[in-house]
Structure 1
């Protein structure tokens, strides 16, 4: 391992479970966790609250640079207001997905994301963690799941929170978001060349977490290549 602070990246499509998995992997290792998607959702929420035109790339990026954000265990605060539940609402997530291709916004958030790299280590989840934000990460995971399985998970989450959910609508929305994420010209959702693909379609959260911890253990036990 290099002398830098180690990073495990977990990228994948929406509702693949990467956020929950990242939290649990970080907890098991005693590391910091970065939910990069929350920064985009927070920007989207600020855009909605301030009535900014989402098509105004410069204005959106400016909001991102001035976000008054605090992350606490299980909590997210924006300008002194608890917004952990609000930023998980579908309309906020959809706007975040539409804002994500904005190159000015991505540049504005890049430094903030990299600042989360703190000892003893970082688990970062998102869509371009292993390809753009932390290309030197020691372990890169690309977490996938069948789109219907993901839609069913999201429906279950919403129903548990007392929010009505239509599976077919969620499925159509998820497919549209997948298309936006994978086809955008700036930092598209794609597995890094050195990423390990983990399919969680038929795995429990615990099984998915364990598979990643096993990969990390395997990485630690692998002797470095000569000259590295």
Structure 2
């Protein structure tokens, strides 16, 4: 294990730019980046593809039974500059980012068996440090001893606007109010689920980026990383 390498845990609400800052830090430091939320989205996509979840139903027990057959992996794409998500060997990076998947992911992520399987995978990835991972329970459950814990937040309206613009740029036809409703519903479900709810770790540093540019945010967090590495 390289003593100069640290573990960075980034938690927070949906659409707070966790993935953006995590990718930036991983690229700057030469660390492994893991988007834990993408793993939950991949399981959700699997459930949707296999008719295990819909607006009026969720075949939770069947999903649990099929968990051993769900293989989630990451493959670095040099052109994009980050790792894309593969579900059972198929690139699903774009498929997992839809508003439809966003509508079901909190339900799937609340299933204890799903969380246990993915948390086990996430811990294995971070065994040798030199990792930046973002999600909902990284600093509280996955890496409670992380060298640096950040908790990202911003107003629901700001986050909905960011998500809306992101989806529109991709070519998706979405309504802002629908996106805002999704953000608010996910906030409630993520914060109130029984297993590993979204809470700020006691030793996490809160970053409210409602009025920050990406560059301003990166500068603030880079300074925190530099201090954490020097103290490791």
TM-score, normalised to structure 2, is: 0.88
Unmatched 5+ stretches in structure 1: none
Unmatched 5+ stretches in structure 2: 77-81
Q: Which residue of 1 aligns with 2:147?
A: 138
Partners of 2:107 and 2:214 in 1: how far apart?
A: 28
Question: Does residue 69 of structure 2 align to residue 66 of structure 1?
Answer: yes
Question: Does residue 20 of structure 2 align to residue 17 of structure 1?
Answer: no
Q: Which residue of 1 aligns with 2:205?
A: 196
Q: Which residue of 1 aligns with 2:7?
A: 7
Moved over 4 A (4+): 2-5
Partners of 2:99 and 2:65 in 1: how far apart?
A: 24
Q: Aligned pair in 2 of structure 1 residues 63, 202: CA closer, same or farther (>3 Å)?
A: farther
Q: Which residue of 1 aligns with 2:47?
A: 47
Partners of 1:67 and 1:176 in 2: how far apart?
A: 27
Name the count of aligned residue pairs. 222
Does the Cα contact within 8 Å between 2:12 and 2:151 map onto a contact in 1? yes
TM-score, normalised to structure 1, is: 0.90
Partners of 1:124 and 1:64 in 2: how far apart?
A: 22
TM-align CA RMSD? 2.0
Q: Secondary structure at the match of 1:194?
A: coil
Question: Does residue 152 of structure 2 align to residue 152 of structure 1?
Answer: no
Does the Cα contact within 8 Å between 1:9 and 1:130 map onto a contact in 2? yes
| Post-superposition CA distance 1:46-79 (Å, at most 9, x none) | 1111222574444323433332223122422222
